[in-house]
Amino acid sequence: MASDAKPSDIQAVVALVESAGGEAFVSRGISRVIIGLVGDVEQFARLNIRGMRGVRDVTRISAGYKLVSREHHPARSAVRVGGVPIGPDTVTLIAGPCAVETPDQTLAAARMAQRAGAVLLRGGAFKPRTSPYAFQGLGERGLRILADVRAETGLPFVTEVLDADQVDMVAQYADMLQVGARNMQNFALLQALGAVGKPVLLKRGLSATIEEWLMAAEYIAQRGNLDVVLCERGIRTFETATRNTLDISAVPVAQSLSHLPVIVDPSHSGGRRDLVLPLSRAAVVAGADGLVVDVHPEPSVALCDGPQALIADDLAVLARDLRDLTGFMGRQLPEPATVPVG
């Protein structure tokens, strides 16, 4: 739809498509509305949708993913999280603890993150652990801690949601909802996120192809939410020296196929503190729209992923490198959130 399309224009398109026996999925982004049509294409061609008020263009798309494709939207999108952009003009640093453990630990990690230039906080309250005996997170209590730390620091936060039934509850606290790698093809969860009015961080599955990852994003977009950010976090290969293999080429490949922003998680990719800085540099120079990095005030006692958490000294180097490399890439570090969060 054109940027000045009125709600009644959108409604008219939906009504016409439905009257012709088709389905119309309205997806809203910051600056545009896209209506995805599902049904008999020949029938749609006879409707003269292109001539309707508020319609900018009608495109027939052959790829399995349509709304998230660049075929549909040549310009790359930016997604805003609590006022902070993640998109083609910026390199956005998201940092925080792997898991929320205590109020003090979360606040300390957030302060460390903020000093390094992070404009968004990460932290897991619901943890998808490989072992059922590992720390599973604080649950809703963890979300309350994150909300308190947001109030204290002004950092909007992203946190993982594990299940479709939890989406509304987590969305009441979080500024952005994360789909973990192990849940990338939890289709009920993806569909529920399509109906939530918050941006989504969609991690690539451990063994998912780029096409499968984009199809997963399409599930969210098709149900009405275009504010999806893709996150490459390493994939499973034959290599055992690192926890996962960072697929650096996934950044430009996904960006060439999809208009959605693509960020990199160097922490879960390598699984080792000493790899986080080199992988971060590689990601930014490969064109990543941001980074999501684990930090911890005391990694040796972390309840989750301590070996990959950055400490203050590493963060100072990361901050310096990000300034340099962001300039080198002709981008900017985004301003911190100024809008009231909560």
Q: Which residues form the interface with ligand PEP (CB under 6 A)?
A: 98, 124, 128, 180-182, 203, 233, 265, 268
Tell me which of ligand PEP, Mn ion, none is bound by residue 128, counting a contact when its beta carbon lies within the kind-specific cut-off of 5 to 8 angstroms.
Answer: ligand PEP
Residues within the interface to Mn ion (CB under 5 A): 98, 305
Nearer to ligand PEP, 98 or 189 (CB): 98
Tell the smallest beta-carbon distance from residue 203 to ligand PEP (Å).
4
Given the complex with ligand PEP, which of 29 and 124 has the nearer CB atom?
A: 124
CB of 5 to ligand PEP, least distance (A): 37
- Residue 80 binds which entry of ligand PEP, Mn ion, none, CB below 5-8 Å type-dependent: none
198 binds, among Mn ion, ligand PEP, none (CB under 5 to 8 A by kind): none
Residue holding tokens 């999925």? 25
Residue 274 neighbours by CB under 8 Å, 6+ apart? none
Report in angstroms how near the CB of residue 229 gets to Mn ion at its nearest: 18
Alpha-carbon distance values, 131 to 134, 135, 184, 185, 212 (Å): 5, 9, 18, 20, 25
Residue nearest to ligand PEP (CB): 180
Nearer to ligand PEP, 218 or 294 (CB): 294
Nearer of residues 45 and 134 to ligand PEP, judged by Cβ: 134
Q: For the CB of residue 93, give the shortest distance to ligand PEP in the complex, in Å.
A: 15
- 181: partner contacted, choices Mn ion, ligand PEP, none (Cβ within 5-8 A by kind): ligand PEP
CB of 124 to ligand PEP, least distance (A): 5
Instruction: Return the one option of ligand PEP, Mn ion, none that residue 139 interacts with (CB less than 5 to 8 A, by type).
Output: none
| Minimum distance from residue 159 beta carbon to ligand PEP (Å) | 9
